[in-house]
Amino acid sequence: MRQGSFAQTRPVATPSSGRRRSIWITLAALLAAGWSTNHFAALLPVLAEVAHISKPGLDAAFGLYAIGLLPGLLLGGGLSDRRGRRPVVLTGLVLCATGNVVMLLWPTLAGVLTGRLVVGVGVGLVASAGTAWAADQDSAKGAMRAGVVLTTGFAAGPLASGLIAQFTPGRIGLVVAFTVPVLLTGLSALLCLVPDRASHVATATRPHQDRDGSPAPFVEDRRIGTALAAALPMALWVFSCVTVAMLVLTERIGGQYGGPLLPAVAAVLGLGTGILVQLGTRRLAGWRPLGVVGAALAATGFVISGVPGGQMSIATFVLCSVTFGAAYGLCLGQGLRDVDRLAPRSTRGLVIGIFYVVTYTGFALPFVLNTYEDSIGASAPMFVLAALAATSALARLVQVRRGDHRHFE
């Protein structure tokens, strides 16, 4: 009865300009956040040369970002469920800009570690609250759209910073590369401050959606545990794949290849493939074994990476990057779909935050692999990761074969 009275007292509207503007603001925030964090990967050689920061220090800075993500993802998702998506996204964008400003003005190991930590908190807020906001705006494809746009930012950032560093070498190139994401996140933050004049108009078909994209209480047969059981085996291989391609495999290519462009190429190959896979499988989004294929591709990529050992040809590098990119796209898309279908609407932001926490543990993997490569070798860890990814694929296959159509259709 209450839902019916709501529909009678609120005017029914077609998608308004205010709602479209809200969607574009959300996507702009996700793009800027992805750019502002991952562009750092292409600047590692430049920071080593210009700022004289050691390779272990830079690897630690890259992985430290994941530590900042943990509170950002968990607090941001849950807080946006209660307080609304927009203010949490705005706060995250401000922190992303602040972290890059710190690294711009303080290009030392201490400054880079501090800046990356701040950026991690900011991206965590934007990724969790922004993805939930996109899902609120479009329950059919909002979460998948958010994943594609965030991935685009992850790919565009290293490419742009790599090109800047390549053609504007030295400290000037470093300044320009850090300034670009500061401007992008600042502009996106300003867009979040634009009032939504049409927010008072609600649609009868979306009675559970609040004015700023925050979902009102919505009760149905959904469970947090069920959503996480489906999504987390996928989350393990999202960033584990692409960071290995960008930061580990690029170190195993000898000869004339090197510099800031090689991580950028790895980002474009891997993340670009991930974008294409996510877009190409939209019509197959309901096909239950997609997650099995994604984890199996991750296992395949690790096997191919482990065979040549510490030295890799450019052809093998390209093959691995593309394979890892396809695994990334399938695992991210399937995991977000699992969360969107199975998590309670009132805790969607929290569950998305937990999902992203597990995905971002992959950012610590390059540091571990590069640190212990001399003692345990280059091949053995890759084969262990391949076995773990194959186990995830098998676990997903078991879930699918159980035939629980309520959870995996």
208 within domain boundaries: no
Q: In this structure, are residues 383 and 309 in contact, taking their beta carbons and an 8 Å threshold?
A: no
Mind listing the pLDDT tens digit for each residue in 289-317? 788 999 999 999 999 999 988 888 889 99
- Range with the poorest average pLDDT among 59-73, 189-203, 247-261, 303-317: 189-203
Q: What CATH number should be reported for the domain holding residue 165?
A: 1.20.1250.20
Secondary structure in 3-state letters for the chain: CHHHHHHHHCCCCCCCHHHHHHHHHHHHHHHHHHHHHHHHHHHHHHHHHHCCCCHHHHHHHHHHHHHHHHHHHHHHHHHHHHHCHHHHHHHHHHHHHHHHHHHHHCCCHHHHHHHHHHHHHHHHHHHHHHHHHHHHHCCCCHHHHHHHHHHHHHHHHHHHHHHHHHHCCHHHHHHHHHHHHHHHHHHHHHHHCCCCCCCCCCCCCCCCECCCCCECCCCCCCCHHHHHHHHHHHHCCHHHHHHHHHHHHHHHECCCCCCCHHHHHHHHHHHHHHHHHHHHCHHHCCCCCHHHHHHHHHHHHHHHHHCCCCCECHHHHHHHHHHHHHHHHHHHHHHHHHHHHHCCHHHHHHHHHHHHHHHHHHHHHHHHHHHCHHHHCCCHHHHHHHHHHHHHHHHHHHHHHCCCHHHHC
Q: What total of structural domains would you count in the chain?
A: 1
pLDDT band at 407 (very low <50, low <70, confident <90, very high): very low
205 within domain boundaries: no
56 within domain boundaries: yes
217 within domain boundaries: no
d(CA 95, CA 117): 10
Angle between helix axes 109-137 and 17-38 (nearest 10 degrees) is 150
Domain span at 102? 16-195+222-408
pLDDT of 327 above 90: yes
62 within domain boundaries: yes
Mind listing the pLDDT tens digit for each residue in 118-150? 999 999 999 989 988 888 887 767 778 888 898
374 within domain boundaries: yes
Mind listing the pLDDT tens digit for each residue in 335-391? 888 888 888 877 878 888 888 888 888 877 887 887 777 788 889 999 999 999 999
pLDDT of 393 above 60: yes
Mind listing the pLDDT tens digit for each residue in 73-116? 888 878 888 888 899 999 999 999 999 999 999 988 899 999 99
Q: What is the pTM of this model?
A: 0.75
Instruction: Say what the pLDDT of residue 94 is.
Output: 96
8 within domain boundaries: no
